[in-house]
A and B are shown apart, each in its own frame.
Chain A
Amino acid sequence: MNFPILSTIIFLPLLGSLFIFLSTQKNENRSAIYISLFTSLANLFLTFFLWYSFDKNFVGFQFIEENNWISGLIKFKLGIDGISILFIVLTAFITPICIISCIISAKKRLSEFLIAILILETFMIGVFCSLDLIIFYLFFEAGLIPMFLIIGIWGGPRKIYSAYKFFLFTLLGSVLMLAAIIFIYWTIGTTDYTEIYKLKIPQEYQYLLWLAFFSSFAVKTPMWPVHTWLPDAHVEAPTAGSVILAAILLKMAGYGFLRFSLGMFPIASEFFTPLIFTLSIVAIIYTSLVALMQDDMKKLIAYSSVAHMGFVTLGIFTFNKQGIEGSMFQMISHGIISAALFLCVGVLYDRTGSRMIKSFGGVVNYLPNFSLIFIIFVLGALGLPGTTGFIGEFLVLLGAFKINYLVAILASTGVVLCAAYMLWMAKRVVFGNTNNIIIAKLKDINFLEGTILIVLCLVSIIFGFYPEPLLNTMNISVNQIIQNHQNELTAILIDK
C-alpha cells in the first residue's frame, strides 16, 4: 500500500490545529470546536481503518514509511506492529473524548486549549509510530511543550509549581536517553530500530544504556521514587489534561520499556529485573497506602495510577506471555478506566468547584445516573471480573507467579489495597448521608457527559468480557519479543 496512512494519522491533528489557529477570532469558539471535533473523529476513523487493515499474522513491522530526513545520518522511518497499533487506537479514541470534555467544562481560552490538545495528539501518535530512536525522542520530548501549557494555563491554584515539576522532571530523565541514543548511533552505526534489533548491542554497553533509557521511562511511568510529579500534575491539571496524562502520556513509558528496553537490551533487562521488581512492588504497596489517606479525589486516582503502572512494569519484566500481555492489557484498561474516573471527578468539580472527598456524600440520591457510572468505573479500577481491569491484573499476576512467588504474593496485596481505597472513596462520595447542602441542588449528568462516559463504560465492559480482539492483535508481536529475548539469553549461555 502506497498511501502514507501513518503520516496522515500523525499530522492530521497538527493540520487541524493550524486551521483553528488561522480561523478563530477572539471569543469565537464555534469554528474551533467543529474543526477540532472533525479532525479528531476523522483521525479516529482513520485509525480504525488502520486497525482493520492491519495484518494480525504478520511478523515484524507493517505500513513502513521511510523518507530521507537528516541526509546521511537518519531516516524518518515509521511503522507499526501489534503493540503500537493498540496505543495508536487508544490515543485516537481518547482525544475526541478529551475534546468533548473540554467543550463541556473549559471556560477560558477554549480554542487555544483545543489547539494544544490536537498538537499533543500528533506528538503522542508519533511516539507510537516511530521506528527510529531519534524520531521517537523527538516526539517523546515534544509532548512536554503542550502539556506544560495545559497544566500551566488551565490548571488549579498550584499550577505553576506543578507545571515546572512536570517539565523539569521529565526533561531531566530524558536528556540521558538522548545521550544514550547518540551513543548507540556511534557504536552500532544506526538508530533505526529494526536494524539495531538485528545487529545487537554489545553486552558491555547494554547496562549503562539500559540505565539511561530507564531514567527517562521511570520518570515518565512514573515509578517509585520519582513518581512525585504525577500527583501534583494530576491535581492541578484541568480535567482533559489529567485524562490525557493518565490515559496516554504514562503509556509512552510502558511502551518504551516494552519496545526499547526489552528489544534492544535483553541482557541488561534480565540483569536489572530485580530492581524493576523491587521498585514495582514498592510502588504498588506504598502508593496504595498513600492513596488510602488522600482527601482529594484526583490525588487518590493519581496515586492509584502509580500503583497500576507498578503492575505494568512488573508484568513487562516477567518476560513471559501472560505477564507481557497482561501489562499491555493493563495499560489499555488503565487508559480507559482512569480517564473515565478523571472525567467523573471533573463532572463533580464542574458542579461544585471541589474535589475533596469530605465535601461530598450521598451523591447517589441526587445524581443517580452519574453514581451508577462512577461505581462501574470504581469497580473497573479495582479489577472486578467483567471489566478490562480484571484481565490485566489477572494476567500480570499469572505471569508473576510463574517467575517468583514472593513478588506475586506481594503484588497481590496491591489488589486488595486497591479495592480498599477505591471502595472507601466510593462509599464516602457516593453513598452515606448528604452533609453538604450544595449536593442536593446538583443536576445529573447531561447528554454530552453521559455519552462520553457511557462510551468508555461500554468499551471497558465489552473488552472485559471479550478480550480476544486486543489479545489477537498483540499476540504475534508479544511472541516475537519473548522469542527474541530467549534467543539472546541462550546465545549468551552458549558463549559461556
Chain B
Amino acid sequence: MENINSIIPEIALFFGICLTLMVGVFFKNSFSLVMKLTILVLLGVIYLILIDWGGEQKIFLDSFKNDKFSDYFKILILVSSIFIFISSNEFIKDKKLSKFEYPIIIMFSILGMFFMLSANDLILFYLGLELQSLALYVLASFDRDNIISSEAGIKYFVLSALSSGLLLYGCSLLYGFTGSTNFNEIGTNLITQNTGAIFAMVFILVGLAFKVSAVPFHMWTPDVYQGAPTSITNFFAVVPKAVGLAVFIRFMDLPFKNIIEEWQMIIIFISIASMILGSVAAIGQKNIKRLLAYSSISHMGYALAGVATGTISGYTSTIIYITIYIIMNMGTFACLYLMKTDGKYTEKIEDLSGLSKERPMFAFSFLILFFSLAGIPPLGGFFAKFFVFMSVIESEMYALAVIGLLTTVISAFYYLKVIKIIYFDDNKIKFDDVRNLSIKATILLSCLFLSLYFISPSIIGSLLNGLFI
C-alpha cells in the first residue's frame, strides 16, 4: 500500500468540489452559499498543505511528487484565488454572472493546476494541464451573452488547444527519444546530444510559452483579458501565469537539466521579445485591461529572464518575482472593481482622470500599485526586478540584463501615463462610492505589502530556502 498522505490535499479538493457541486445543484439560487463553501474548501486545503509543509515524497511509481516547491505554489494559487473570490463577489453579482458553476469551474482548474505542479511524469502533467485548460476555456467565455466574451473564449480555446497539441506532440517525441515519461529518468537519459529530444524540447517550450503568454505566443492575451469579465481576467492574470512559470522551472530543472545550452538561447529570446513587445505595445492602449495584458506580457519577460539563467538563484528570483507580481495584480484588479459609474463598470483609462481630487485614497493606491508595477524603488516591484537582475548578472548574461533594464524605462512611460491621468488631469466623471470592505481590504493589504516590502526584502527569499535540492 502506497503512502497516499501526500495526495490528501488533492483528494480533499476533489471531494470539496463534488460537495459544492451537489449543493449548487440541489439548492436554488445558491450562489452565495456555494461561494462561501468554496472559500471554506480552499481554506481547508491550505490547512492540509500547511500541516504537511516541506515533506518530500514521490508516489504512484514516482509520477506524483510532493515537495516544498509544489507546496509553495499551491499555497500561492489558493491564497490568490481566495482573494479573487472575495474581492470580485460584488462584481460578479452586478454583472449577473452569479451562477453557482463559476466557483466550481475555478476549483476544477485549481485541481488541474495541483496535478501540473506535482507531476513528475509527462502523462500526469498533461492530464493536469488539460483539466486546467478545459476549465479555463469555459471561464473565458463565461459571460456567454456578451459577444466580446464569447469571442475571447473561442479565441482562447482555438489557440490554447493548438498549443496543447504541440505540447502533447513534444511529450510523445520526448518519450520516443528518451524511452521514459518520468522527469528524472528523462533528465538522466538526455545527457548526450539527442536531436530528436531537442525537437521535443522546442515543442514543449512553445506550449509552455503559450500558457504564460510570452512573445511570440502572446496573441491571445490582450483579447482574452479585455473580453473576459474582469473577475475572470483577474484569475487569468494571476493563477495560470504562476503555474505556467512553475512548470517552466520544473521542466528546466528536471528533464532538460542537461541540455541547458539548447534551451537557454530560446528562453533568452522569448524573454527579451516579451519585455520589448510588452512595453512598447502597451503605450497606445486606452483600455486598462488591455494595458494590463501587455504589462503582464512584459512582466513574464522579466520572470523568464530568471529562468533563462538556469541556476538555482535564477529560479528562486523568478519565484520571488511571480509572488510580488501576483500581489501587485491582486491590488490592481481590486481597484478595477471600484471603477464604477452609475452602476456600470468602466474600463477606459481616461475615465480615471482627476481621480485624485475626488477620491484621494483610491488614487493613492493606484499610485503605489503602478509605480510598483513600473519597478521604481522603494516599492515591492523594484525588488522583484532587482533579484532577477542580480541572478541574471551573476550568470554573466549582460546583454539580457541591460536590455531588461532599458525596457523598464520604456514601460515606466505607460505606467506614468496612467498616473498622469489620475493625478494631473481634470476631473471628468464621478465614480460611485462603492462600500465594499473586502475589495478595500485587498487593495490595502496589497499596497501595504508593496510599500513596506523594503523593510525586509529577503522575506520571500527566506521562505524559499531549500526549495531546490
Residues of B within 8 A of A172 (CB): 406, 409
CB distance from A141 to the nearest CB of B (A): 5
- The stretch from A85-93, A147-155, A384-392, A460-468 touching chain B is A147-155
The CA of A95 and the CA of B382, in the complex, are separated in Å by 27
The 8 Å CB contact of B416, one of A73, A164, A178, A185, is A164
* Chain B residue at smallest Cβ distance from A144: B376
**B-facing mask of A88-113, CB < 8 A → 1, else 0?**
00000000000000000000010010
Is B402 part of the contact surface with A, judged by Cβ < 8 Å? Answer: yes
A270 to B85, CA, bound (A): 61
Answer whether residue B389 sits at the interface, using C-beta atoms and an 8 A cutoff: yes
30 residue pairs of the A-B complex, CB under 8 angstroms, read A69-B457, A69-B458, A70-B458, A71-B458, A109-B357, A112-B360, A134-B386, A138-B377, A138-B454, A139-B378, A149-B367, A152-B420, A152-B424, A153-B356, A164-B413, A167-B416, A171-B408, A172-B409, A175-B408, A176-B402, A176-B405, A178-B389, A179-B389, A179-B393, A179-B401, A179-B402, A182-B389, A182-B393, A182-B401, A183-B393
Q: Is A159 an interface residue (CB 8 A)?
A: yes
In the bound complex, residues from chain B placing their C-beta under 8 Å from that of A175 are 405-406, 408-409
Task: Give the interface size class of chain A.
Answer: 35 or more
Nearest-Cβ distance from residue A459 to partner chain B, whole angstroms:
32
* A70 and B412 form a contact (CB under 8 A): no
- Tell me the minimal C-beta distance from B370 to chain A in angstroms: 11
Interface residues of B (CB under 8 A from A): 356-357, 360, 367, 371, 376-378, 382, 386, 389-390, 393-394, 398, 401-402, 405-406, 408-409, 412-413, 416, 419-420, 423-424, 454, 456-458, 461-462
Contacts of A137 in B (CB 8 A): 377
- Using a CB–CB distance below 8 Å, which chain A residues touch chain B? 69-73, 109, 112, 134, 137-139, 141-142, 144-145, 148-149, 152-153, 159-160, 163-164, 167-168, 171-172, 175-176, 178-179, 182-183, 185-186
Q: Separation in Å of the A18 CB from the closest CB of chain B?
A: 11
Chain A residues within 8 Å of B356, by CB: 153
* A234 to B389 alpha-carbon distance, docked (Å): 34
Q: Which residues of B contact A178 (CB under 8 A)?
A: 386, 389, 405
How far does the Cβ of B39 sit from chain A's closest Cβ, in whole Å?
32
| 11 further interface pairs, Cβ-Cβ under 8 Å (given A179-B402, A182-B386, A186-B394) | A109-B357, A144-B376, A145-B376, A149-B367, A164-B420, A167-B416, A168-B412, A171-B408, A175-B405, A182-B389, A186-B393
* Contact between chains at A141 and B377 (CB < 8 Å): yes
Give min CB distance, A115 to chain B, whole Å: 10
A109 partner residues in chain B, CB cutoff 8 A? 357
State in angstroms the CA–CA spacing of A138 and B457 once bound together: 12
Chain B minimum-CB-distance residue to A137: B377
A71-B461 in contact (CB<8A): yes
A179-B389, A182-B390 known; A141 vs B420 contact (CB < 8 Å):
no
User: Are A72 and B458 touching (Cβ within 8 A)?
Assistant: yes
* Residues in A neighbouring B456, C-beta threshold 8 A: 69
| B367, B390, B401, B456, most chain A CB atoms within 10 A | B390
How far, in angstroms, from A185 to B402 measured CA to CA in the complex?
Answer: 16
- Taken together as a complex, chains A and B put the C-alpha atoms of A171 and B411 apart, in Å, by 11
Whole-angstrom distance between the alpha carbons of A182 and B383 in the complex?
Answer: 13
Tell me the bound Cα distance from A178 to B387 in angstroms: 12
**Quick check: B401 and A142 within 8 Å, CB to CB?**
no
Q: How far is the CB of B451 from chain A (nearest CB, A)?
A: 11
Nearest Cβ on chain A to B305's Cβ, whole angstroms? 13
Min CB gap A140→B, angstroms? 8
* Contact yes or no, B423 A149, CB < 8 A: yes
A164 to B386, CA, bound (A): 23
Q: Is the CB of B420 within 8 A of A168?
A: no
**In the bound complex, CA of A153 to CA of B461 (Å):** 37
